[in-house]
Amino acid sequence: MPIDRDKSIYEHLRQDGFTLIELLVVITIVGILSAVVLSSLKDMRMTAKDTLIKQQIRSIVTAIELDYGMTGTYAHNDLQWFRLPPTTSPGESCADKSFTGPQATELRKLCYSIEENINHDGLFGSGLYMIWGIHQNGPTPRPDPARYYAIMVMLNSGQWYCVGVDRGVHAGTLGQLANTTFNHGDCFSNP
């Protein structure tokens, strides 16, 4: 473009390009937008993992219900507390537990998959992330078959997800754990 002799060089340069301030404003806006997008992607990934964990818990329930249908008891799957790997002692991982019964292999696979999708240190940093209780009726020693179960999992969102033999599916905050019981397979005090 030919230079107009009536305009100063500054005016000529001003017309042909962007100033440094204009470029910095554009770069700042792009940076803010990318930060928002990356934050949203992280939240979506966490939500997707939590959804997958919930589905895997439902699959565990299906497997132990099938086991109950074949054997008349939930006792083959009597597990209590699970911790995230690496564990401080052998056997604390859900997938390391010695499941028995017809659905044992499937239960180990599901537990391992849940462990792979947990992204936190568990309850108060202790590594506790899943509680699985099997309850029997009658005095000690309990002669009746185990007829109740409840499974609670701490999701990546910090909420506890509880499924019990009462067919109830509940979610609650971490603080509600203290008010939750496993009597008769109910997940009490969850919203």
Q: What span, in angstroms and rounded, lies between the C-alpha atoms of 99 and 106?
A: 10
With the CA atoms of 80, 164, 45 and 47 taken in that order, what torsion angle do they form, in degrees rounded to the nearest 10? -140
- Identify the helix (H) or strand (E) that includes residue 25: helix 20-71
Q: Is 96 helix (H, G, I), strand (E, B) or coil?
A: helix
| pLDDT value, residue 143 | 45
> Hey, what are 108's tokens?
């180990």
Which burial class, exposed, middle or buried, applies to 27 when counting CB atoms under 10 A from its CB (0-12, 13-18, 19+)?
A: exposed
| Total-model pTM | 0.62
| pLDDT value, residue 126 | 46
Taking 50 as the pLDDT cut, the residues of the chain under it are 80-91, 126, 138-139, 142-143, 174-186, 188-191
| pLDDT value, residue 4 | 59
Token look-up 């000690």 returns 140
| pLDDT value, residue 29 | 95
| pLDDT value, residue 98 | 59
Which burial class, exposed, middle or buried, applies to 4 when counting CB atoms under 10 A from its CB (0-12, 13-18, 19+)?
A: exposed
Domain boundaries, the chain: 46-185
| pLDDT value, residue 25 | 94
Which tens digit of pLDDT belongs to each residue from 10-40? 665 556 667 889 899 999 999 999 988 888 8
